[in-house]
Chains A and B, each alone.
Chain A
Amino acid sequence: MGPLKTLWHRLGSPRWFYGMLAPWQLGFGVAALTLLTIGTTWGLVFAPADYQQGESFRIIYVHVPTVILAQSAYMMLGVAGFVLLVWRMKMADVAMVAIVPFGIAITVLGLFTGAVWGRPTWGTWWEWTDARLVSTLILLFLYFGLYALRQAIPNAESAGRACAVLAIVGLINIPIIKYSVEWWTTLHQGSTFSVTRVSMPMQMWAPLLVNVVGMYCLFGWVITRRMRTEVLRRERDTAWVNDLFGKRL
């Protein structure tokens, strides 16, 4: 049996999954705190002001990482939904439960910081005719829909499958968000950030890279923490959970 196949079988064990995630949670936590502190300080204090936008451009150091994660988190939801439907892997359902609250929080933040940036830059908080803005709002509604759907279906297994279907169908919105700035003439500018193509001076781009990586680490911390909680919640009446907590008493 290859190492990948071994991993696949181990993922079927909630006990192994719970323990395996502990060091990842710690690592993501330390990395997120370090990177976001460095990136934010660098962006706020040391990066030069933009010659056109002035100081308000500094909002990109929080806006760009949040909207990137809003989309990445949704893509992972879609992948988890696919894995749940095709292979019936329970840990994929656990991942979906963990990702949705993060998605709601980060998308609200992405829309809000975008509006706060738009006001001094475009002269408006919000523009209904802009495809990038509206498709991101739809992303938020998809997250809300996934949250509500799970609450609405009492049977946990049916709820998981229904959420998986909605998550996969909603994936269609991701390329729409990405290419909205190219397909339609919009107020929103084209892509600001790319790892391979540096479209701004290095002193402006580097703190943005640090914050994007830091935000992925924060996502990692929140998801591992919430997945572990969800595993415990589902397994609370089993012997291994009793052994784990019984020892401390």
Chain B
Amino acid sequence: MNIEAIAEWAAMGRHGLYVWLAYGSSLAVLVGLVLESRWSAARLTREIEADIAAYKESGQS
């Protein structure tokens, strides 16, 4: 596959702007949703672990 063939494919007829806007926005929103779901889980895990660590420390002193 040469460069011209790839460029022609990427141009999507005259509709490259619309096709790539749709795919780009979908990728951004779906990846964002996955990352936010993971981050909120990780944040909660850190909070719980900090609570447990603080509790253990207070128990030992």
Residues in A lying within 8 Å of B, measured CB to CB: 40, 44-45, 49, 54-56, 58-59, 62-63, 66, 101-102, 105-106, 108-109, 112-113, 116-117, 119-120, 218, 221-222, 225-226, 228-229, 232-233, 236, 241-242, 245-246, 248-249
Tell me if B15 and A120 are in contact (CB < 8 A).
yes
Determine the residue in chain B with the shortest Cβ distance to A242. Answer: B52
The 17 listed contacts between A and B (C-beta, < 8 Å) are A40-B23, A54-B12, A54-B13, A54-B15, A55-B13, A56-B15, A62-B22, A105-B29, A106-B29, A116-B18, A119-B18, A229-B44, A245-B45, A245-B52, A248-B49, A249-B49, A249-B53
Instruction: For the complex formed, measure the closest distance between the CB of B15 and the CB atoms of chain A, giving whole angstroms.
Output: 4
Determine the residue in chain A with the shortest Cβ distance to B55. Answer: A242
Determine the residue in chain A with the shortest Cβ distance to B25. Answer: A112
Tell me if A62 and B37 are in contact (CB < 8 A).
no
Instruction: Please name all residues of chain B whose beta carbon is closer than 8 Å to the beta carbon of A59 when the two chains form the complex.
Output: 18-19, 22-23
Instruction: Please name all residues of chain A whose beta carbon is closer than 8 Å to the beta carbon of B16 when the two chains form the complex.
Output: 55
Tell me if A44 and B23 are in contact (CB < 8 A).
yes
Instruction: Please name all residues of chain A whose beta carbon is closer than 8 Å to the beta carbon of B51 when the two chains form the complex.
Output: 236
Instruction: Please name all residues of chain B whose beta carbon is closer than 8 Å to the beta carbon of A117 when the two chains form the complex.
Output: 18, 22
Tell me if B37 and A109 are in contact (CB < 8 A).
no
Chain A interface, >50% SS class: helix
Tell me if A56 and B9 are in contact (CB < 8 A).
no
Instruction: Please name all residues of chain B whose beta carbon is closer than 8 Å to the beta carbon of A55 when the two chains form the complex.
Output: 12-13, 15-16, 19
Q: How far is the CA of A44 from the CA of B15 in the complex (A)?
A: 13
Interface assignment of B3: CB less than 8 Å from any CB of chain A: no
The number of chain B residues with a CB under 8 A from chain A is 32
Interface assignment of B41: CB less than 8 Å from any CB of chain A: yes
Q: How far is the CA of A221 from the CA of B32 in the complex (A)?
A: 14
Tell me if B15 and A105 are in contact (CB < 8 A).
no
Determine the residue in chain A with the shortest Cβ distance to B33. Answer: A105
Instruction: For the complex formed, measure the closest distance between the CB of A14 and the CB atoms of chain B, giving whole angstroms.
Output: 14
Q: How far is the CA of A138 from the CA of B50 in the complex (A)?
A: 42
Interface assignment of B58: CB less than 8 Å from any CB of chain A: no
Determine the residue in chain A with the shortest Cβ distance to B47. Answer: A236
Q: How far is the CA of A45 from the CA of B29 in the complex (A)?
A: 22
